[in-house]
Structure 1
Amino acid sequence: MEGDSVTLNTDLTEIPEDDEILWKYGAEKSLIAQIRRAAGVFSTSDVPDGRFRDRLKLDRQTGSLTITNTRTEHTGEYQLEIRRAKLSSQTYHVSVYARLPVPVITRDCSSSSSSSQQNCSLLCSVVNVGHVTLSWYKGHSLLSSISVSDLSISLSLPLEVEYQEKNSYSCVINNPITNQTTHLDISKLCQPCSEVHIHSCDTVEAVMRLVVTALMGVASAAAAVLLLNDVRSARG
């Protein structure tokens, strides 16, 4: 998980005096750490893009390598070489996953479903994710899912439920090591879009009535003023 530390062990309890230990990274086998006890060398080095800066620590006794404050870009192959009378090597495959966001469930009133009068259309969404699966569950049963292997992708997964339904629904995002879940509250989120539309129309109509009433009031007041002026003129 991003932010955690990972230690790659040599399985040695102590480094023999004449052994040389090399740690390499990636397909290019870039040297990122080395130990030569006889020469007093205990060093780490970065790769050209700087991803390991201030993140590598060597155990001087065992030669194990620790990567601190990991990020997804630290995913890859790490190779350990122990050079002595006979060369031995070991490869480690490291996968670092980003911390998962909490899925967001929203109402989709723009849905053109023919059953929109009976059903509530929903969207479960997450942003800036990679190597994850987004799923809808009804109770413990999987309804639908979508997976992505790219990085920094936005995902949305639709679902339709009945307005008065009492079943339990949840939206889950997961990768191989963790997950995040949001439970659906149908009674809170699902109200017929037509009712919302009617309510909006009623509000507009009420405002228009107030405007017309106000205009009529102004017109009546103006007529009264004109009538009073006519009366005064007649008296004069």
Structure 2
Amino acid sequence: MLCLFALLYYLWHLLGVFCVETDEIKSVSVMEGESVTLNTDVNVTQRHKILWKFGDRGLLIALLDDNEVSLFNGTEGQFRDRLQLDHQTGSLTIRNVTTTDSGLYELNIKGRTGDRVKKFNVTVYSHLFIPVISRDSSQCSSSSSSQQNCSLLCSVVNESAVTLSWFKGNSLLSSISVSNISFSLSLPLEVEYQDNNNYSCVINNPIRNQTTHLDINELCQPCSSPVHCCGFTETVIRLAGSVLVGVATVAVLVYDIRSRRSYPETREQTPRADEYDDVA
């Protein structure tokens, strides 16, 4: 019985050499331009061989063998001068990450007692632009019944994997999410004029957010009263009257100037008194 137990233990240990232990995929999020470190959580010895692979094709990008580090640039130099491998742990650091660095990273730890595989799903998020709140320019041209409220629009551009939301204080009013790249993302909101509540528009991804607060007094001014037909007619009449008055004034001035110029000539043609004496 003892011999059988020893034989089974030996076979289990022998099979363990060829066994590969695989952990669950770990999700890692990072902002564009930052650095990210993928940890092995082991102490590397000369009996270990560390390999880091990237992408679905398992492209080798880093190797630690006998305490010697080899780093590779990846396809078309994607990781050029941005990779760092820790000699003690085999942890991989990627500096100044870009959105193209998103993907699956696979760690292979090879040792005498078996191999171990860890996987990391890295997502690199682009920078968030501050959302812009604007007023619907067509509102004042609509019917008067809709002018009791102020129509607003919160917009962002060139964002991916984000959620755009309107908040009233801390309460969520509405939201919209996109997973792919969108050239323009907008979310409407309608509020009453002179509303004293605090409204804000927020854009966020899993690790960052940007907020713009609504200034109701600046954006939500009541529309001017529409111009009626009679008011328009009256305005035209007044304008025409002003033009006529102006033309008449100019005519009087021209007539006066011409009269002044012709007055000396009339005096020279008038007979003198001594000329009448000679005739007598």
TM-score, normalised with respect to structure 2: 0.71
Look up the match of 1:107: 135
Matched, 1:29 2:66: no
Measured in 1, the distance between the counterparts of 2:160 and 2:79 equals 21
Matched, 1:191 2:218: no
Measured in 2, the distance between the counterparts of 1:11 and 1:63 equals 9
Look up the match of 1:141: 171
Deviates more, 1:89-98 or 1:129-138: 89-98
**Could you report, residue by residue, the CA deviation over 1:102-123 in whole angstroms, capped at 9, with x for unpaired residues?**
1111111214765431011111
Superposition pairs of residues 76-91 of structure 1, within 5 angstroms? 76-85=103-112, 86-91=114-119
Q: Give the Å deviation of 1:213.
A: 5.3
Matched, 1:180 2:223: no
Measured in 1, the distance between the counterparts of 2:102 and 2:212 equals 28
Measured in 1, the distance between the counterparts of 2:181 and 2:245 equals 63
Q: Give the Å deviation of 1:216.
A: 5.2
Distance 1:90 1:131, change over 3 A: same
Looking at secondary structure, tell me which structure has more helix per residue. Answer: 2
> Which protein shows a greater Rg?
2
Contact residue 25 and residue 32 of structure 1 kept, 8 A: yes
Measured in 2, the distance between the counterparts of 1:28 and 1:110 equals 53
Superposition pairs of residues 55-134 of structure 1, within 5 angstroms? 55-85=82-112, 86-111=114-139, 115-134=145-164
Measured in 2, the distance between the counterparts of 1:219 and 1:142 equals 67
Measured in 1, the distance between the counterparts of 2:157 and 2:129 equals 8
**Could you report, residue by residue, the CA deviation over 1:87-143 in whole angstroms, capped at 9, with x for unpaired residues?**
221111112212212111111121476543101111111111110000111122211
Matched, 1:44 2:74: no
**2:125 maps to amino acid:** Y
Q: Give the Å deviation of 1:69.
A: 1.0
Measured in 1, the distance between the counterparts of 2:251 and 2:167 equals 66
Query: Structure 1: which 5+ runs fail to align?
Result: none
Matched, 1:155 2:185: yes
Measured in 2, the distance between the counterparts of 1:74 and 1:135 equals 28
Measured in 1, the distance between the counterparts of 2:127 and 2:190 equals 29
**Could you report, residue by residue, the CA deviation over 1:60-82 in whole angstroms, capped at 9, with x for unpaired residues?**
22211100111222111100012
Measured in 2, the distance between the counterparts of 1:49 and 1:149 equals 27
Query: Structure 2: which 5+ runs fail to align?
Result: 1-30, 267-280
Measured in 2, the distance between the counterparts of 1:212 and 1:29 equals 86
SS of 2:211's partner is strand
Q: Give the Å deviation of 1:12.
A: 2.1
**2:146 maps to amino acid:** S
Look up the match of 1:171: 201
Look up the match of 1:12: 42
Measured in 1, the distance between the counterparts of 2:203 and 2:222 equals 28
Measured in 2, the distance between the counterparts of 1:162 and 1:45 equals 60
Measured in 2, the distance between the counterparts of 1:212 and 1:88 equals 96
